[in-house]
């Protein structure tokens, strides 16, 4: 089991054909493709701030005969594209583009804004998954700001579950599940 397969196992139990889903960090498109397979005739939208990521995601989807709306924009603007309470699942995979420029990565301020807006877009019972990757030269500041922020979410409205790779000695990823109650 790794962070990706854990998140996918949980998401698989929640997303069904016809659902509206968001991949907040398209990257190479693997999460977007996964969501497209689950949502079937629903609608998947993927955001990224890098053209390389959008192109890469488009290519992967094409090769698998899948379709998604791809948007070159920050996930912090996701509220411009959806109605409140309409979305079933939102995935964030924080960090930098694999095999891409390590200097372009997610930052706490825009991630927090996107999480706040995304939680409004989720319908009741909807799920947001945030996989926090850090290590090497980046990601520690985002992790250190994000975890205390998530503690402040109203427990009457949201349930926040963190998974821990408890015995890893080095920088384990942190899969986080936020359920809208």
Ligand X SMILES: C[S@@+](CC[C@H](N)C(=O)[O-])C[C@H]1O[C@@H](n2cnc3c(N)ncnc32)[C@H](O)[C@@H]1O
What are the residues binding ligand X (CB under 6 A)?
Answer: 25, 27-31, 47-50, 53, 74-76, 93, 95-97, 104-106, 110
Name which of 102 and 157 has its Cβ closer to ligand X.
102
CA triple 86-11-9, angle to 5 deg: 175
Give Cα 114 to chain centroid, integer Å: 10
Name which of 105 and 177 has its Cβ closer to ligand X.
105
- In the complex, which residue's CB is closest to ligand X? 27
Q: If we measure between CA atoms, which residue out of 114, 47, 75, 88 comes closest to residue 179?
A: 88
Minimal distance in Å, beta carbon 101 to ligand X?
A: 8
Minimal distance in Å, beta carbon 124 to ligand X?
A: 25
Look-up: residue for tokens 């500041």? 141
Name which of 55 and 157 has its Cβ closer to ligand X.
55
- In angstroms, the CA 38 to CA 32 distance is 10
Name which of 50 and 123 has its Cβ closer to ligand X.
50
Name which of 30 and 81 has its Cβ closer to ligand X.
30
Minimal distance in Å, beta carbon 113 to ligand X?
A: 9
Look at the chain and count its residues: 181
Q: In the structure encoding, which two tokens stand for residue 160, read together?
A: 């926040």
Minimal distance in Å, beta carbon 93 to ligand X?
A: 4
Minimal distance in Å, beta carbon 174 to ligand X?
A: 13
- In angstroms, the CA 23 to CA 14 distance is 15
Residue 89, helix vs strand vs coil: strand
């Amino acid at each position: 089991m790794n962070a990706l397969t854990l998140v996918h196992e949980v998401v698989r139990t929640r997303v069904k054909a016809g659902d509206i889903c968001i991949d907040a960090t398209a990257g190479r498109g693997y999460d977007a493709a996964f969501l497209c397979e689950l949502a079937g005739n629903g609608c998947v939208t993927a955001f990224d701030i890098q053209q390389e990521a959008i192109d890469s995601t488009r290519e992967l989807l094409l090769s698998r005969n899948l379709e998604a709306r791809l948007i070159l924009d920050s996930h912090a603007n996701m509220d411009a594209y959806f109605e409140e309470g309409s979305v079933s699942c939102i995935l964030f995979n924080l960090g930098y583009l694999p095999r891409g420029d390590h200097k372009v990565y997610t930052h706490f301020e825009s991630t927090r804004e996107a999480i706040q807006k995304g939680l409004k877009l989720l319908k009741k019972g909807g799920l947001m998954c945030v996989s926090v990757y850090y290590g090497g030269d980046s990601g520690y500041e985002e992790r250190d700001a994000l975890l205390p922020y998530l503690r402040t979410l109203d427990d009457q409205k949201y349930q926040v579950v963190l998974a821990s790779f408890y015995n890893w000695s080095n920088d384990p990823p942190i899969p986080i599940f936020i359920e809208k109650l």
